[in-house]
Amino acid sequence: MRTASVLGVSMIALLAASNAAAQTTPPASTTEAPAADSTDELAPQEAGADEIVVTGFRSSLSQALNIKRSSAGQVDAILAEDMAKFPDLNLAESIQRLPGVTIDRENGEGRTISVRGLGSQFTQVRINGMETQAAYGGNTNRGFDFSMFASELFNSIKVNKTQSAELEEGSLGATVDLQTGRGLDFGSGTHFAVSAQGSYNDLAKNVQPRLAGLVSWANADNTFGVLFSAAYSKRNPISESFNTTRWQAGDPSQPYGAGNNFAGCLSCTTDAQRSELLSAAYPRIPRYTFGEVDIDRLGLTGSVQWRPDEHTDVTLDVLYARFNQEAESPNIEAIGFSRAAGGVRDTIVNEYEVDPTKNILSYGVFDNVDIRSENGFERNESTFHQVSFNMRHDFTDRFRGRLKVGESETRARTPLSVAYKFDANDRDGYMFDFRGNDRLPVIAYGFDVTDGRNFALTEWSKSRSGTNFRLANMSGALEYDLTDGLTIKTGGEYHTYRFDTFGFQAAVTKLSGANAPTDVTNLGKVVDLNGSMDIPAGTDMAYLVPDIDKLAGFVSMYNDPLVPAYNGTRRVNEKDAGGFVQADFHTTIAGMTARGNIGLRYAHTSVDSTGYLAIGNANTNVTVKNDYEDWLPSFNLAIEPTNDVTVRLGAAKVMSRPSLGDLTPGGSLSTPTQKVTYGNPLLDPFRATNYDVSVEWYFAKESLIAVAAFYKDIKSFTSSVTETVPWSSLGLPDSLLVGTPSSPDMDFDVSRKINGLGGSLKGIEVQYQQPFSFLPGPLRHMGFIGNYTYVTSDVDYGAAGHNKLTGQSEHAYNATIYYETKKISARVSGAYRGKYLLSFPGGNGNTEEGVNGTLNIDASLSYNLTKNITLSIQGVNLTDEYNDRYVDITDRVSNYRHFGREILFGFRANF
């Protein structure tokens, strides 16, 4: 019924548009911009003879506004103001300036994006027109890691928030188009651009380089051009934090490990006090941590472009990126509180205090506490490459075609991950105190935690792992102008998507008794927390941790053989084939300019999922096949009641394929008990029907006030369940049961992912943009860009007991004030993302886990020393905003972390 209703509205609008177009040839819209449709790259806008040409940042805003205005659907764009000069240092941080977009940060910079409340796995990303995947550091999802790429490599970003039939399926939230530079972008002749910056982090207290360069050449006729660009940067962010690894709910029904009644609580004299103590939640692993990350990033692009005339354009684009990261994570903690069987009950409580508002132990002094000092080291190495061939040709004035062929591959490796542990057991006098500051408590261990004689080396481990993503794309389309106002488009695509991940590990080595070195002075190093966190007095600020380099020469682990980690080895082979038919119309209705598109897309998906199923002591490789198809109608209409107002309507059925990590048939099978635990290779995609409406008022030159509303009727969300179902419904081969007590006609108790119940997501975006050229004096050089997004959701997760979509912030806003003259360009930007959920329940008796709201302030100032040379200084996260992760509805601290401010200074030259 929903498909029929969308198609019905679409056909009525198409017939009306076709009839009107056949009777009259509408005048060209004054707002239409070339090359702004949903599948082609963004083109620079040309100013009319009577227009005042603006340059720099303001020019890029004006061009992006023209793209938004001329599109049939809801589109937002960001353009580089000059060669290889994006307005932010990170692509994700640039995209967050757009309405409805929020980002997730890692190591002090943006990594993934969410659009209109839907996370990165629901957002499709294309580079140079090709769907692709970039990932590092254990990413086994469809989410795109924007931080793999230097922003200097790209000229434009376009976010398509509504769907059209010619746009490939795969997104519930948005399709993001990233475009690198091309040889004919800058006109004939040779052009150079180079930039050099030093990046200073106020926690790391060192300066790291950021370098970029571009060279392009085009012949005198501007029909053949080549381009090459490169960008290299290093970062050395420092992480300081306090975390608890959640809070453990107490249980007064259980006795003390040290004895019954009040034996473990010296402060308890009544049953009420004992119940109060054992009912309160306590921190599982309370600790201050200090981490250091070394990142180096290299990006290269190349392009060869041939445009012999206005009817033909042939381009070959190549993109390479390398992202390496090394991280060391030393910390010390009261590991004894995390013991599942004991926790506080296995200690002697000398003093305590309970905060009744959060029902937590806010203060305590304990004896018989196990303390652990640990350190880990991990190296991640990731590479990405893409080769894409794009061809567009006009066969006649009315008949055109385009062809796209390409492939991309991401190889993410963790060649080494090691961890060491020093233990000090049964220590007296341990204390924590959250009463003065519930994010930065007092932590004291009751003994000298810098003395190696107080610790023993007890454990070490080693592993390596890797992930591969391979995508091959081929697509083609034809379009024919049936009339001056009606164009028919048709085409198809064939994609292959291969994902595989593997892991190897050494058996964890544990030492005890006489085998455990009891003086680790020569195997450790002292970490000092005297950084910029406002840690309260009384906290042990320095502590001994394992020294990675010293221990590498002490233990044989680095030469120990590794064995396969079967639970981390799996593969997904996916083949996606589809086609579309679409009608684009441009006409007048009741004297109003109207344009839009109506179309239908067909998509067929075939999936082979492979994983290891543990059956007894054996690991069996299992492959399960699945396929499904989707019919996806879409409709977009833009009406201009007046020359400065555009009203947009959109409706579409959309789909997003399941998370790659959920498709594995790997897990465990117990045939004697008829129990199975695995992912679910038979998962269907996420499906939804989207409805969109917006009103845009272009009330002055380079100015906009817009309001957009959206509603997504989502059919299902993936949920984890345990249920009794027939073996035949699992997709697993019957051969697994041969010779066992089980048979294929039996029911099994199965723990797996399923396509659960659905829900709805709705929201509103408000956008305002204007240069203040009407103001007197220097104020006329100022301007403002801002937006606000409100999103709410109502999702049925079945037994999960929550109706909010994870990763969805209810409130988000962005604002930028800028000042621009021929000599000076200055900007101050703020990006707020409201509180959002990560999971529920939150584990260990907590109702939920999430992240509190953040406000990040950035600024930049540049001065044009000459026509070709610009000096600049930029500040990132100027207020040193903390990432505040919490558990439970009472807002108990989980991880309170910061990475410091980053200041970049340098120059840029172009010729």
For residue 278, what pLDDT is reported? 85
Query: Terminus-to-terminus CA distance in the chain, angstroms?
Result: 60
What token pair was written down for 885? 């992760």
| One-letter identity of residue 608 | D
For residue 844, what pLDDT is reported? 81
Alpha carbons 496 and 471: distance in angstroms, whole number: 6
DSSP 498-550: EEEEEEEEPPPEE--GGGS-S--GGGEEEEE--SSS-PPTTS--EEEEE-HHH
For residue 34, what pLDDT is reported? 34
For residue 258, what pLDDT is reported? 46
Cβ-contact 179, 154 below 8 angstroms: yes
Cβ-contact 382, 412 below 8 angstroms: yes
- Cβ burial of 1 (10 Å; 0-12, 13-18, 19+) is exposed
SS3 for 826-888, per residue?
A: EEEEEEEECCEEEECCCECCECCEEECCEEEEEEEEEEECCCCEEEEEEEECCCCCCEEEEEC
- Cβ burial of 364 (10 Å; 0-12, 13-18, 19+) is buried
Could you report the per-residue pLDDT of 863-905, keeping only the tens digit for each? 999 999 999 999 999 999 999 999 999 999 999 999 999 999 9
Confidence (pTM)? 0.89
- For 199, residues 6+ apart whose C-beta sits below 8 A from its C-beta are 207, 208, 209, 210, 233, 234, 235, 902, 903, 904
Query: Which has the closest alpha carbon to 89: 62, 59, 109?
Result: 109
| One-letter identity of residue 236 | N
Alpha carbons 872 and 210: distance in angstroms, whole number: 13
**Which residues are 418's β-sheet partners?**
377, 462
Mean pLDDT taken over the chain: 87
Query: Which has the closest alpha carbon to 370: 328, 420, 329, 421?
Result: 421
What token pair was written down for 537? 């007095």
CA distances from 214 to 67, 88, 477, 587, 909 (A): 25, 18, 32, 43, 10
HSE value, Cβ hemisphere, 13 Å, CA-based, for 857: 6
For residue 783, what pLDDT is reported? 95
Where the chain has pLDDT below 50, the residues are 1-53, 258-261
Query: Which has the closest alpha carbon to 840: 808, 806, 792?
Result: 806
For residue 327, what pLDDT is reported? 93
Cβ-contact 663, 609 below 8 angstroms: yes
DSSP 565-598: -GGG-EEEEEEEEEEEEEEEEEEEETTEEEEEEE
What token pair was written down for 759? 């829900």
Please name the helix (run of DSSP H) or strand (run of DSSP E) that holds residue 277, with its range, or none: helix 271-279
- Using CA atoms in the order 170, 176, 180, 182, what is the torsion angle rounded to 10 degrees? 80
Alpha carbons 813 and 834: distance in angstroms, whole number: 9
Angle ∠(759,845,668) on CA atoms, nearest 5: 75
DSSP 601-669: EEEEEEEEEEEEEEETTEEEEEEEEEEEEEEEEEEEEEEEEETTEEEEEEEEEEEEPPPGGG----EEE
For residue 616, what pLDDT is reported? 84
| One-letter identity of residue 320 | Y
Distance of CA 534 to the CA centre of its chain: 30
What token pair was written down for 354? 């309970």
For residue 255, what pLDDT is reported? 64
Cβ-contact 371, 347 below 8 angstroms: no
Could you report the per-residue pLDDT of 477-529, keeping only the tens digit for each? 999 999 999 999 999 999 999 999 998 887 677 776 666 778 899 999 999 88
Cis preceding linkage at 841, omega within 30? yes
Cβ-contact 379, 325 below 8 angstroms: yes
What token pair was written down for 102? 């929020």
